[in-house]
Amino acid sequence: MGEVRKLQKKLRQIENLEINISQSLTPEERVKISRKAELRTRLAELLLQLSGPQQTPGIVGGGKHEKMKRQVEATSEALPSHSPSATKIPKGEAEPTGRQKKTGSQKETVTRGETGRKEETGGRRETGAGEEQSEPCLAVTDTSPKENQEDAEFTSLKASWEKAKFRLRSLEGHSDIVTCVVAVDNLVISGSRDTTVKVWHVPTATEQRNLGGHTGGVTCLSAPPPEYCRRLAWELSLGDKERFILSGSADCCVRIWALSTGQCVKSIYTFNAVTALCFVPEGDGYIITGSDGGKVQAWSWQTMDNCQSINAHEEAVTSLQSQGPLVFSSSAEGGVSVWEGLCTNRDPLQLLHHWDATVTGCGSQEGRLTLSPRGDRLFVAYGRANLRILNWRTGTVSRLTNHSSIAGVTDCVHQTGGLLIGSCYDLTNGESTLNLFSLPQCRYLASLTWADAPRILCFAAWLTGSGGHRWVTGGRALTVWEQLPSSGKQRGDVTTKRDNRLDASLIESEGDSEDEEDSDDYDDDKEEDYTSQDAPESGSTSWLRCVLQ
């Protein structure tokens, strides 16, 4: 197991090195990256030796090297079944004599009869000569009509997603990694490490505009609501239907773009590399930015003036999300803060809660932490095999299994149309999937993958007029997902599968840090360093974390 963990850590470091903010790699870094296939081959061999009889190996196309379909770790635990039904033992269940009526699917107990006849008496069985043989009592499943209805709805939903079909279309144009995506009507806006923001017309899968102006990699995007767009459009003498997009960059700028013309209409200089941003639709509206130094700042939508600057986190802000007047921020050191927007021009943000990494369990050296709020719950992706679910009011945490082994990496999490979607990338074999869970119960539905699927770093989704799903995924490729009618004859480009090991996937956390493979039982000083020598000490890759709208 020691060597397996070493190889997994090296592969994780190589993957993060490839998507580092550095625009160019040193010769030493290129040598390290070139060893990825070799390390994967060795890891696959070790896992085959450690795997049980249920393990099924797979072969990489072209016969280059073996890879594992699934990794069975000795550390994997059996998770409790996640079902709304509760099994209970009824009070006074066994009566020594007489008739006892049982509810549900249980049979009615019969009074003792003639010799030689087997009869039920509570938890006992009577045999020929009148001797009794002890037998376990039958538990009664106490299910309400509401629970039965929920189970029926879930079963129907699961069956529909097992038949899901999607057509995939690639959007070609960026010359580097796509770090963030948002959707506005029939448009997709993408930001890239190549410093550009591009606008795509989804129905035709064509590039509509190329918004150039940033001098550093684009790290985050946000789309203000239409009513706030109308206010700015009126000020700029533009049409009432004008939509705007906000982009943040490592060049310390936030730019505001008019989508109809592709022009930058306003800009904000923040004095710090912008790593995350969101829009708060309260009062006159506020733009909230996060920096690579951990600072959270609020800017007036009306005047673009700085209203507040807070040293909120020790390391880089990796994600900012708004939910009504609330703002949620996360940082590279694993902390999460909850802010309330006070709709004032001075100090509009007030801290409600802060939970550090000892509570969230999301300590991360790579700064890979993104958020998706839902009521009192905050879904957190932090570059590991599990999603964390934080009750931001109480600080209680549960874990949602997003991969069947610790070799999985979760880069982003998103909610759409009653679904929770988590991306998953397998360090062992380079496979990428999207895992679907039902909301609000977080019950596993299905996994979607496709041939040569790249690592997914960002995600956007919306529903079409007919109720179908339309998604966009970004990373090394920018791809549009168009849901096809399940009854149609057209074949989809996506493979739908189920991993039964994710069925019982929601468990309560015991406050552990769950360091998993980073809690290595070996001395790092004796191992080759796969981290970038040019990267800053804190939050070096956090600029990649996208704000998922």
* Chain segment 28-51, per-residue pLDDT in tens: 777 887 887 888 787 777 777 776
pTM given for the model? 0.75
- Domain range spanning residue 181? 161-544
Does position 321 have pLDDT exceeding 50, yes or no? yes
Kindly state whether residues 514 and 369 are assigned to the same domain. yes
CA distance 521 to 98: 63
Strands 206-211 and 274-280: unpaired
- Domain assignment of residue 227, yes or no: yes
Kindly state whether residues 56 and 205 are assigned to the same domain. no
Does position 195 have pLDDT exceeding 50, yes or no? yes
Kindly state whether residues 337 and 465 are assigned to the same domain. yes
CA distance 197 to 205: 16
Of the candidates 50, 90, 83, 82, the one whose C-alpha atom is nearest the C-alpha of residue 68 is 50
Of the candidates 297, 382, 293, the one whose C-alpha atom is nearest the C-alpha of residue 336 is 382
- Domain assignment of residue 52, yes or no: yes
* % pLDDT > 90, the chain: 52
Residues with Cβ within 8 Å of 205's Cβ and at least 6 positions away in sequence, in order, are: 169, 170, 171, 480
Rounded mean pLDDT, 73-83: 35
CA distance 51 to 74: 8
Residue 280: per-residue pLDDT: 95
Residue, of 41 and 413, whose pLDDT is higher: 413
Kindly state whether residues 181 and 54 are assigned to the same domain. no
Kindly state whether residues 43 and 190 are assigned to the same domain. no
Kindly state whether residues 64 and 168 are assigned to the same domain. no
Residue 542: per-residue pLDDT: 40
- Domain assignment of residue 117, yes or no: no
Residue, of 83 and 5, whose pLDDT is higher: 5
Here the CATH number for the domain that contains residue 480 is 2.130.10.10
Kindly state whether residues 63 and 166 are assigned to the same domain. no
| CA angle in degrees (0–180, nearest 5) for 19-13-46 | 130
The CB-based long-range contact list for 207-210 (8 Å cut-off, 24+ gap) reads: 207/171, 207/173, 209/259, 209/262, 210/173, 210/262
Rounded mean pLDDT, 93-122: 41
Kindly report the number of other CB atoms within 10 A of residue 116's CB atom: 10
Rounded mean pLDDT, 244-269: 96
Backbone angles phi, psi at 136, to 5 degrees: -60, 145
The CB-based long-range contact list for 145-150 (8 Å cut-off, 24+ gap) reads: 147/84, 147/85, 150/84, 150/441
Kindly state whether residues 167 and 45 are assigned to the same domain. no
Averaged pLDDT score across all residues of the chain: 78
CA distance 233 to 104: 63
- Domain assignment of residue 91, yes or no: no
Rounded mean pLDDT, 81-108: 39
Q: Which pair of structure tokens corresponds to residue 204?
A: 């035709």
Residue 157: pLDDT band with limits 50, 70, 90: very high
Report helix, strand and coil shares of the chain as percent, to nearest 5.
15, 35, 45
Kindly state whether residues 266 and 400 are assigned to the same domain. yes
Kindly state whether residues 387 and 500 are assigned to the same domain. yes
CA atoms within 13 A on the CB side of 436: 22
Residue 91: per-residue pLDDT: 40
- Domain assignment of residue 122, yes or no: no
Of the candidates 307, 273, 308, the one whose C-alpha atom is nearest the C-alpha of residue 290 is 273
How many structural domains compose the chain? 2
Q: Find how far residue 192's CA is from the centre of its chain.
A: 20
Last residue of a domain, one of 15, 46, 68: 68
- Domain assignment of residue 80, yes or no: no
Residues with Cβ within 8 Å of 235's Cβ and at least 6 positions away in sequence, in order, are: none
Kindly state whether residues 55 and 170 are assigned to the same domain. no
Last residue of a domain, one of 68, 90, 108: 68
Q: Which pair of structure tokens corresponds to residue 306?
A: 């700085």
Strands 479-484 and 197-201: unpaired
Task: Name residue 413's beta-bridge partners.
Answer: 422
- Domain assignment of residue 406, yes or no: yes
Residue 404: per-residue pLDDT: 85
The conformation of residue 154, written as its DSSP 8-state character, comes to H
Residue 537: per-residue pLDDT: 41
Residue 334: per-residue pLDDT: 93
Last residue of a domain, one of 23, 45, 68: 68
Residue 244: pLDDT band with limits 50, 70, 90: very high
CA atoms within 13 A on the CB side of 116: 0
Kindly state whether residues 60 and 177 are assigned to the same domain. no
Does position 125 have pLDDT exceeding 80, yes or no? no
Residue 7: per-residue pLDDT: 80
- Domain assignment of residue 449, yes or no: yes
Residue 521: per-residue pLDDT: 37
